[in-house]
Amino acid sequence: MNDKVENCIKDKVEDYIKENLSKERLEHTYRVRDVAIELAGVFEEEELDLELVEIAALMHDAAKEMPEEEKRLYCRLNFIILDDIFLKDIDLAHGLIASDMLENIFGCDEVDVLNAVKNHTFGRVKMSLLEKVIFIADYIEPKRKTPGVEEVREAAFEGKINLSVKLAVDNTMKFLYNNDMDVHPMSQGVKSYAASKAEK
């Protein structure tokens, strides 16, 4: 995508979220954007396109506040395949929906950006750097106070992004187990893969 197209998509995304997200969610989104850009600076040798980082961050929760029925309908109409976890709690599919909207409504054809939006909730085995940056930025934005978040934040800003992914998934899994909530089957794989790649 050239700069002009990227800017045009970014404007469309921003108009959409300003119109469709609550003040709190919008503020969260901008915090995630700011952290994601900061993190991209930590990995500057890998040259992430900051416009793309921004588009992914701004879009990541765009569908979060869509009413449940609308989410189900969107998935049905757009052939989004949902596994049992998503069927049980459709809110968890907000990344899948946002990614589909970004591609088909806002015209983004950058697979990496689409994946970063799609996988920001659970992560994915073999995530790209952009996917990890969005996943972690969402986890560590300054208002997040989850136990263990400090460790994840530290690892990320030290450039140990795989370690931060491993720690974040580990924390989330522990929280879900302790609260008798479903753990996505992919989480163990994401954690193990990140652990195998983790920087010492």
Binding site for Fe ion (CB under 5 A): 61, 138
Please, what is the minimum distance in Å from the beta carbon of residue 139 to Fe ion?
Answer: 9
**Nearest 5°: phi and psi at 79?**
55, 40
Residue closer to Fe ion (CB basis): 8 or 85: 85
Residue type, 165: V
Please, what is the minimum distance in Å from the beta carbon of residue 4 to Fe ion?
Answer: 28
Residue closer to Fe ion (CB basis): 33 or 191: 33
Pick the closest to residue 93 from 110, 75, 113 (CA basis). 75
Residue 110, token pair as written in the block:
């950058």
DSSP state for residue 165 in the 8-state scheme? H
Please, what is the minimum distance in Å from the beta carbon of residue 98 to Fe ion?
Answer: 8
Residue closer to Fe ion (CB basis): 6 or 61: 61
Name the one residue in this structure whose structure tokens are 């994915």: 124
Residue closer to Fe ion (CB basis): 100 or 138: 138
Residue 144, token pair as written in the block:
């997040």
Please, what is the minimum distance in Å from the beta carbon of residue 199 to Fe ion?
Answer: 25
